[in-house]
């Protein structure tokens, strides 16, 4: 991390704290901030304490963690694949995590045992990575990795569609469809405790790869000559992504584009250096997700908009914009 990035990191941290506070204080029922804060420490009305400790707090913290995981995973993958269009979804981890969760809903297991949902999501992401490793081989090139990721992704997407197709009743189909849209609504401390450690472990793995990612910008051969363990780096980036993204998707559903948009916004301010992009992307990812989640709660729609819908609506045009800009270089 470089000294010149301190103002950026400080600014983003401040913004994150402000958004955390806002996320905690804003809800469907307006409550004065003082009462809300008191309830956080267990004082005041019992129902309010429950809302503060069991609903608002986990939602805000989970939003920040998931956003940080998606943001940093995007930055790390873009650095690793040397492609500004790369996204955690690219290596198939997101879709496979979705599939795992969908299967649990399909077989009705999630109704009797709620924790099976996140567990199945992470198992899906883990299986996807094992499959990719098997498909691409141990010392696979970046291109082979992307192709294997695409294969896994399309397989997971078809199986998810199959589950929707064969859903036993309309209610189950609706539940799957809603879950696929991605949301932070009604997430509890259980979700937070289950996903949190994995996301943090993923962040730690990815954050420690900064220098190797910088060296990789000079090409694999030169990076290896500078002492970078290419196979080790690949394992760390893939595992870090699975932990951060798999755990996130498993508890919140599919929330796309954070990993694409955030690093792109910050690339210029961090001098295009992959190592300097990692932590700012985590902070900004957390901010963006919290802001989007605030938006879905504040928008006067009949049914609450799903977070994945909002992030997609913000992200997809961004993807077009990026493609148009990259198109000139690709010709």
Tell me how crowded residue 331 is: count the other CB atoms within 10 A of its CB.
5
The CA radius of gyration of the chain, in Å to the nearest whole number, is 20
Contact pick of 215, 233, 251, 255 for other proteins (by CB under 8 A): 215
Q: How far is the CB of 260 from other proteins (least distance, A)?
A: 17
Kindly indicate which of the ranges 21-29, 194-202, 218-226, 309-317 contains the residues binding other proteins, using the contact rule CB under 8 A.
Answer: 218-226
Rounded to whole angstroms, the Cα distance separating 105 from 98 reads 11
Q: Residue 47 interacts with other proteins (CB under 8 A)? A: no
CA distances from 169 to 77, 100, 174, 306 (A): 39, 19, 9, 22
Torsion (CA) 191, 197, 198, 204 in degrees, nearest 10: 150
Q: Residue 1 interacts with other proteins (CB under 8 A)? A: yes
Contact pick of 26, 27, 44, 82 for other proteins (by CB under 8 A): 82
Please count the residues of this chain forming the interface with other proteins, following the rule CB under 8 A.
21
Kindly indicate which of the ranges 4-12, 59-67, 213-221, 286-294 contains the residues binding other proteins, using the contact rule CB under 8 A.
Answer: 213-221
| Nearest residue (CB) to other proteins, 87 versus 175 | 87
Residues in the chain: 331
Contact pick of 272, 299, 321, 326 for other proteins (by CB under 8 A): 272
Q: Which of 192, 249, 244 is nearest to 61 (CA)?
A: 192
Q: Residue 85 interacts with other proteins (CB under 8 A)? A: no
User: By rule CB under 8 A, what string of x and - marks binding of each residue 274-293 to other proteins?
Assistant: x-------------------
Q: How far is the CB of 98 from other proteins (least distance, A)?
A: 31
Kindly indicate which of the ranges 151-159, 224-232, 251-259, 282-290 contains the residues binding other proteins, using the contact rule CB under 8 A.
Answer: 224-232
Rounded to whole angstroms, the Cα distance separating 217 from 223 reads 8
CA angle 324, 326, 329 (to 5 degrees): 125
Q: Residue 193 interacts with other proteins (CB under 8 A)? A: no
Q: Residue 219 interacts with other proteins (CB under 8 A)? A: yes
| Nearest residue (CB) to other proteins, 58 versus 274 | 274
CB 45 within 8 A of CB 174: no
Q: How far is the CB of 5 from other proteins (least distance, A)?
A: 12
Q: How far is the CB of 180 from other proteins (least distance, A)?
A: 35
Q: How far is the CB of 243 from other proteins (least distance, A)?
A: 22
Tell me how crowded residue 49 is: count the other CB atoms within 10 A of its CB.
16
Rounded to whole angstroms, the Cα distance separating 241 from 246 reads 7
Q: Residue 227 interacts with other proteins (CB under 8 A)? A: yes
Rounded to whole angstroms, the Cα distance separating 195 from 181 reads 19
Q: Residue 211 interacts with other proteins (CB under 8 A)? A: yes
54 secondary structure, DSSP code: I
Q: How far is the CB of 224 from other proteins (least distance, A)?
A: 5
DSSP SS3 for 255: coil
Transcribe 164-225 into DSSP letters.
HHT-SSHHHHHHHHHHHH---TT--HHHHHHHHHHHHHHHHHHHTTHHHHHHHTT-HHHHHH
Q: How far is the CB of 145 from other proteins (least distance, A)?
A: 16
Tell me how crowded residue 230 is: count the other CB atoms within 10 A of its CB.
15
Kindly indicate which of the ranges 18-26, 98-106, 108-116, 227-235 contains the residues binding other proteins, using the contact rule CB under 8 A.
Answer: 227-235
| Nearest residue (CB) to other proteins, 211 versus 297 | 211
| Nearest residue (CB) to other proteins, 133 versus 273 | 273
The footprint of other proteins (CB under 8 A) covers: 1, 82, 211, 214-219, 221-222, 224-229, 271-274
């Amino acid at each position: 991390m470089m000294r010149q990035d301190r103002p950026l990191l400080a600014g983003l941290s401040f913004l994150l704290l402000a958004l955390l506070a806002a996320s905690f204080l804003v809800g469907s029922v307006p409550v004065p901030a003082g009462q809300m804060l008191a309830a956080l420490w267990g004082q005041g009305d019992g129902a309010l304490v429950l809302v503060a400790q069991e609903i608002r707090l986990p939602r805000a913290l989970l939003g920040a963690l998931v956003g940080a995981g998606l943001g940093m995973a995007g930055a790390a993958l873009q650095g690793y694949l040397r492609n500004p269009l790369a996204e955690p979804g690219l290596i198939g981890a997101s879709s496979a995590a979705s599939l795992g969760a969908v299967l649990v809903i399909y077989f009705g297991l999630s109704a009797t045992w709620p924790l099976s949902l996140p567990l199945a999501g992470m198992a899906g992401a883990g299986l996807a990575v094992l499959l990719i490793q098997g498909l691409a081989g141990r010392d696979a090139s970046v291109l082979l990795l992307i192709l294997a990721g695409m294969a896994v992704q399309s397989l997971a997407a078809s199986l998810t569609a199959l589950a929707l197709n064969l859903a036993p009743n309309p209610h189950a189909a609706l539940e799957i469809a809603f879950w696929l849209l991605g949301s932070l609504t009604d997430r509890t401390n259980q979700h937070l405790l289950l996903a949190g450690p994995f996301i943090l472990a993923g962040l730690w793995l990815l954050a420690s790869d900064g220098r190797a990612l910088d060296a990789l910008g000079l090409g694999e051969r030169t990076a290896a000559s500078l002492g970078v363990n290419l196979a080790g780096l690949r394992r760390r980036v893939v595992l870090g992504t699975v932990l951060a993204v798999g755990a996130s998707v498993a508890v919140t559903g599919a929330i796309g584009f954070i990993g694409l948009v955030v690093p792109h916004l910050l690339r210029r301010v961090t001098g295009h250096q992959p190592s300097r992009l990692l932590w700012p992307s985590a902070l900004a990812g957390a901010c963006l997700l919290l802001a989007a989640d605030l938006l879905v709660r504040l928008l006067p729609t009949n049914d609450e908009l799903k977070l994945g819908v909002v992030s997609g609506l913000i992200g997809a045009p961004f993807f077009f914009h990026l493609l148009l800009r990259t198109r000139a270089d690709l010709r």
